[in-house]
Chains A and B, each alone.
Chain A
Amino acid sequence: MIQLDNAVVDKPRQVRYSCRLSGFESHVGVGESVRAADPLGIRIIQPPLMALDLAGELKRSPQAALRAMGKGEGDFILEGEVLAETSGAFGFGHRKFISPVAGAICGLIPEEGLAIVRPHQRRVAVSASLASRVVDVDDNGIDLETEGFQINAVAGYGSEISGLITCIEDFQALPGQMSSLSPEEEGWPAIIAFQSPIDSDIIELFRDLFPSSHPLALVVPSIPFRDYVRHANQEYPTTLLITEGFGERQSSSSMAPSIWTLLQGIRAENAMVIPGHDGGAGMLIVPAEQNWSRQEARQVERQTPVRWWGDMTVGHGTVMKAQSDGCKTPSGYYLECARVALEDGLIRDVPLSNLEVLPTAEAMETVE
């Protein structure tokens, strides 16, 4: 048996995942089983508080601006409703403050003429993306469990998406492959996996082609950190899952061969991307019910894959020897290492602390 960062590739396992929603009314109970698209409950979204600058808009002193309010603390206000109104001498200087938001007036700041409004909550139906079993429910979300395979990411953002997986190996083939993607076809939203690192240009390309109403997720080995931050802070980010780390297209390594093999094995199958939240950096779940190729899994099984970090980037290889005696790194540290055959054919002793995918004891028995 070989473990790939919790993804057991020779047989499916119970994968537990969470939907943390910061406000949730459940329609299901612990122990219940749900099918894909079954309703789970209502997500309660509380928009941030808003400070309405009455004094500034009405061009009055803070006290005068608050006196001009037709409502007080605790009252409700509708979007577009007149919150305050002033009239100057002889009809000049007549001004209105139209509320940009509906909500409750929860505070007044007399010194500054501000009214603080808590916008009404929004209620959004939440349904199951995969056939799962409910294992925990509270006011902030729901934990589910499903039979499947799991690939852990190192970072990710965006919203949870389930859809069909498309694998793209070569950028040159990208335009052709993208033309075959259509949001109108069954199977959208899509999950698009790249073998090579991407950058901001690729994300922009997808964003230009597909509107935000047609969400998609990109599963990529790496992206420059600046691009990651820039897109994560946008209002409608494309969901992004990073499997290896941060780096430029030219200098970063490709996706771990074992992960890529796994993804290719489930090409055109249904999967689910869960971006990072409190418990982890995000993951991709492939339900076990699907009839995906077992050949690729066996191919991975014969290897003992490792991902390791060093030389300022992520590398991949296979373990030849689990733990050699202590060895000296080029930086001068004397550490316990594993002997690893790198993808480029070199053999190197890698510190155990830098190995991210540790082979299991059973796997090592077969190696040694």
Chain B
Amino acid sequence: MLALSGPKPIVSVDFGSAVTKLGLFLQVETRFRLVCDHCVRPVKDETDAASVLLEGLQGLERLTGWELTQEEKWPGRELMIIATGSCAGPLPTLFLGPEADVVAKLAAVLLPLAPLKVAGSRAQGNEPSKPESASIGEVLARINESEIGLIVAAASSRQEASTIGAVLRAAQPVWKADKIPLLYSGPDEVADALSGELPPSIEFRRLGTDGWLHPRFISGQAQEILLETYDARLARQLNGLAKFESEGKSQAVCCSSSSIRRAGKELSQDLGCVVAVLDAGANTTTLSYSSPETQESNRDSSTGPGESFTAVGCRSGPRVVPDADILTGLRMWLPFEIDDDVLINYLANRQLRPQAVATTRRELLIEMAVARQSVAAIRRSFSQQPEALVGSGSLAAYPRLGQCALTMIDAIQPQAPCRLLLDRASILPRLGAISRVDSKVTPGLLNEALIDLGPCLSVLGHVTRDDVVAVIEVTYLDDEVAKEQQAHTFEIRYGTISLIPLAAGVRSRVKMTSGRKISFGHEKWGFWASGQRDEGTGPRDEVMGGTLGLIVDARGRPLQFSSSSAVRQARIMDWLQAVGGIDANELHELD
């Protein structure tokens, strides 16, 4: 860890695929504060990191009047540059194992831990009946065609290790990278055999004596190494930053997933509850759960519309076309009809122009659908229910707060009460990166950076649509408000989402009465209700309002859609209107 001494100014940079964001942090009195925030949209893809950083620093100079790029103007106040980002894209990973099932399970275990993508997988024995099995010939072809950043090997015998070694020795001369790490976890004798069989261009790294799929295997340890490998790749991608280090500006680099994870961890300790951070970027979507009890995040998942929708032109080769399932999944969230080809063309054009913003409502609704769909793939990985749900990245920047809230709820589909927080300025990854370098800088900043959208109650269970499933009685407690407002009773109908007006910072007594077949799961009162760290001493029926009020999602879990597209589209329009995501007079523009 790099120690920060004195009031050294920090520039934290988030190198995104579409936008690079810079924040200048200075110590004011006793604590660090965000002094200035600036965004740079590189015009050209090939613009290198150093040029983008220099442009960003010049932008900060224009805004603050300080000459940040000239050391002599900052005597004794050397700049510290802390970089994070996902611009390196997912790490292409080759999975090798003895059986197709093992390889598939191995990929399923590791893919959620870091921004990885499957560059190839291979099991011994050709098993044509199993689609995940690939022949050695197919795998060799994939190795030849694609860049490999990491190899993960599973072997339980010397013989299996020998086969993996033979495949890698044969393929070795065509590796494009200099030294590729191979991760292995398993018994000593197999590890020895495998390390002895590998060609010199492969670096053997062993995680432990338990097999990958053994119950005692510690995924946290694997995650550390995966993220470390990804950070090294990112650092290579951002090697232009070395120029700044040579000028006396110290720097540190870590990937977005690590930063988000760190920020989530800090937040969970600050708020005293389980926190889920959902960061939707142009290339990578990260969902990180953190609990105050554990030392590290439980799971950290990354996937991306990049994997499904990218690969146009020179970036990854034109080999990926969105498959039918993805298109069907996207259309489920759209309140209008759209042809497959039109949608595919749109997604491909969007990939060519990641820096562009949606100019029409239809485009915005497609973006919201992509965000929901990209999270759907990783949502199943988590068993804990978050009490604080934080949105960051592009989904936190939608024009209306209701659009952000609806996308977050639809994507995560919480099954317990939670509080929605929004990182409107996309500052969370940058704060997480700073926290990895010096955890003394960020306390207080994280919480202050978020907009409190309000508590969200979700109805569990299914009943007949339009039935009244609950009655919520709200009594405003704050004196100023109580003079003007009466106690109100709200009927909640199944299949709807509602905003109950509870102004931000206003306490209210909330009484929930639900039918027998459904539940809000609100027995445990905590941060979701009070909006602050809950010490267990506060009243158990009071709720603090948020910017959107109290959100009541009575659509059941999991969300169910009508088989009739007209009905489904009407329902989605209802939901959008209910949260203020679209006005009634704008609906005709969607046709």
A interface residue numbers (CB < 8 A to B): 46, 48-51, 53, 106-112, 114, 116, 118, 154-157, 224-226, 228-229, 232-233, 242, 245-248, 251, 276-282, 309-314, 329-335, 350-351, 353-354, 356, 358
Contacts and interface: CB of A to CB of B under 8 A. Distances in A.
Given A114-B136, A330-B589, A353-B41, 19 more contacts: A50-B140, A106-B170, A111-B124, A112-B136, A118-B170, A155-B312, A225-B344, A228-B312, A228-B348, A229-B320, A233-B318, A278-B314, A280-B45, A281-B314, A310-B359, A310-B360, A331-B361, A331-B399, A333-B359
Chain B interface SS verdict (over half): helix
B342 A251 contact: yes
A49 to B, nearest CB: 4
B514 to A, nearest CB: 35
A-B pairs with lowest CB-CB distance, top 9: A332-B399, A107-B170, A276-B314, A155-B313, A310-B359, A51-B137, A48-B144, A116-B170, A225-B348
A319 B145 CA distance: 43
Nearest to A51: B137
A322 B310 CA distance: 32
Nearest to B338: A312
A118 B173 contact: yes
B321 A354 contact: no
Contact of A226 (B145, B166, B174, B344): B344
B357 A353 contact: yes
A350 B361 CA distance: 15
A331 B314 contact: no
A279 B357 CA distance: 24
B35 interface: no
Contacts of A157: 313, 318
Interface of B: 41, 43, 45-46, 124-126, 135-137, 140-141, 143-145, 159, 162-163, 166-167, 169-171, 173-174, 312-314, 317-321, 341-342, 344-349, 352-353, 355-364, 398-400, 589
14 contacts: A106-B169, A116-B166, A154-B352, A225-B347, A229-B318, A247-B345, A248-B342, A278-B314, A309-B356, A311-B360, A312-B363, A332-B364, A353-B357, A354-B359
Given A106-B170, A226-B344, A246-B345, A331 B352 contact: no
B166 A109 contact: yes
Contacts of A51: 135-137, 140
A71 to B, nearest CB: 15
Contact of A224 (B145, B345, B353): B345
Contacts of B344: 224-226, 246
Given A48-B141, A49-B174, A118-B170, A311 B359 contact: yes
Nearest to A156: B313
Contacts of B352: 154-155, 245-246, 281
Contacts of A232: 317-319
Nearest to B586: A330
B359 A49 contact: no
A156 B312 CA distance: 9
Given A51-B136, A351-B357, A282 B169 contact: no
A116 B136 contact: yes
Contact of B46 (A106, A114, A279, A350): A279
B356 A107 contact: no
Contacts of B171: 49
A354 B170 contact: no
Given A48-B145, A358-B43, A309 B349 contact: yes
Contact of B312 (A225, A280, A309): A225
Given A224-B341, A353-B356, A229 B321 contact: yes
A50 B137 contact: yes
Given A229-B321, A251-B342, A276-B314, A331 B140 contact: no
Contacts of A312: 342, 345-346, 349, 360, 362-363
Nearest to A252: B345
Contact of B313 (A49, A118, A281): A281
Contacts of B135: 51
A110 B173 CA distance: 21
B399 A333 contact: yes
A3 B70 CA distance: 31
A309 B355 CA distance: 10
B46 A333 contact: no
A258 B173 CA distance: 47
Contacts of B349: 245-247, 309, 312-314
A331 B358 contact: yes
B170 A331 contact: no
A243 to B, nearest CB: 12
A151 to B, nearest CB: 15
A329 B586 CA distance: 13
A224 B318 CA distance: 13
B46 A280 contact: yes
Contacts of A50: 137, 140
A116 B321 CA distance: 31
A46 to B, nearest CB: 6
B306 to A, nearest CB: 16
B358 A333 contact: yes
Contacts of A224: 341, 344-345
B399 A108 contact: no
A53 B585 CA distance: 66
A322 B312 CA distance: 31
Contacts of B145: 48
Contacts of A229: 318-321
B339 to A, nearest CB: 9
Nearest to B145: A48
A198 to B, nearest CB: 14
Contacts of A331: 357-361, 363-364, 399
A113 to B, nearest CB: 11
A116 to B, nearest CB: 4
A280 to B, nearest CB: 6
Contacts of A310: 356, 359-360, 363
B313 A276 contact: yes
Nearest to A223: B345
A233 B311 CA distance: 13
A259 B424 CA distance: 39
Most chain-A Cβ atoms within 10 A of its Cβ — which of B136, B361, B362, B364? Answer: B136
Contacts of B46: 279-280
Given A225-B345, A309-B353, A112 B125 contact: yes
B161 to A, nearest CB: 11
Contact of B314 (A112, A118, A247, A280): A280
B314 A282 contact: yes
A314 B170 CA distance: 47
A170 B346 CA distance: 26
Contact of A333 (B163, B347, B355, B357): B357
B321 A107 contact: no
A16 to B, nearest CB: 11
B355 A353 contact: yes
Contacts of B163: 109-112
A251 B400 CA distance: 30
A358 B344 CA distance: 27
B136 A109 contact: yes
